[in-house]
Amino acid sequence: SAVISQKPSRDICQRGTSLTIQCQVDSQVTMMFWYRQQPGQSLTLIATANQGSEATYESGFVIDKFPISRPNLTFSTLTVSNMSPEDSSIYLCSVEEDPGNTIYFGEGSWLTVV
Amino acid sequence: KQEVTQIPAALSVPEGENLVLNCSFTDSAIYNLQWFRQDPGKGLTSLLLIQSSQREQTSGRLNASLDKSSGRSTLYIAASQPGDSATYLCAVGGGGSNYKLTFGKGTLLTVNP
């Protein structure tokens, strides 16, 4: 199974600033995804990170707020821009080695915006 | 739009008891269904993956079943232990070229010694 490392694991951020979360996988994977888990809620898909092209965003999420990069098959970043307290969440990177197979998650990045 | 519901929202049982967690989904056109475990402050750990053509999967004390036509899955945990205490999440994988997962809100399980 893929091993996923996320950085930072936790951070406290000031309102109005931006933070970039990194996701590193120990093997090349086809699909990489970014999820958000707000306090007391389940996971919501933000976007699919596409290698070499723009990410595919889900309804309610836009590139200006959540720019995503995926320069290769093992690495992706998610930036949370112009943060507000409503952005306080766990942000999780996930990967799918082959379409339709098991999806693996990183440990998550816990962001608190003050 | 796919919707996933998990019942119960929370469950507390004594150690050693067998238990069942339920998951239902509204759109039966799924590729697969996956059960995850989430410990407090941690990411998700995959427990079992059931492809849409399968009826069940087993791993140790865990057994997951899938009835795609009725839009239901169950996760059976045998001889529960305090270490099983966690939130259990059900997620269904969509059809077509979109393999994204739709998650339920989870069942918070507490196994008391």
The C-alpha of B81 sits at a distance from chain A's nearest C-alpha, in angstroms, of 23
More confident: B94 or A109: A109
Cα(A72)–Cα(A69) distance, integer angstroms: 9
Q: Is A69 exposed, middle or buried (0-12, 13-18, 19+ CB in 10 A)?
A: middle
Q: Is residue B16 a contact partner of residue B112, using CB atoms and an 8 Å limit?
A: no
Residues 44-103 of B with CB under 8 A from A: 44-46, 49, 51, 89, 91, 93, 99-101, 103
Q: Is B79 exposed, middle or buried (0-12, 13-18, 19+ CB in 10 A)?
A: exposed
More confident: A61 or A41: A61
B-interface mutation test, from A38, A59, A103, most B Cβ less than 10 A away: A103
In the 8-state DSSP scheme, what is residue B66?
E
Cβ <8 Å between A43 and B93: no
In the 8-state DSSP scheme, what is residue A15?
T
Does pLDDT of B43 surpass 90?
A: no
First to last CA, chain B: 41
Structure confidence by residue, pLDDT tens digits, B65-111: 999 999 999 999 999 999 999 999 999 987 544 567 899 999 999 99
pLDDT at position B31, please? 87
Structure confidence by residue, pLDDT tens digits, A1-60: 789 999 999 999 999 999 999 999 999 988 899 999 998 888 999 999 988 888 999 999
Structure confidence by residue, pLDDT tens digits, A72-104: 999 999 999 999 999 999 999 999 877 677 889
In the 8-state DSSP scheme, what is residue A9?
S
Q: Which residues in chain A are contacts of B34 at CB distance < 8 A? A: 102-103
pLDDT class of A114 with cuts at 50, 70, 90:
very high
Paired tokens of B76: 């059976």
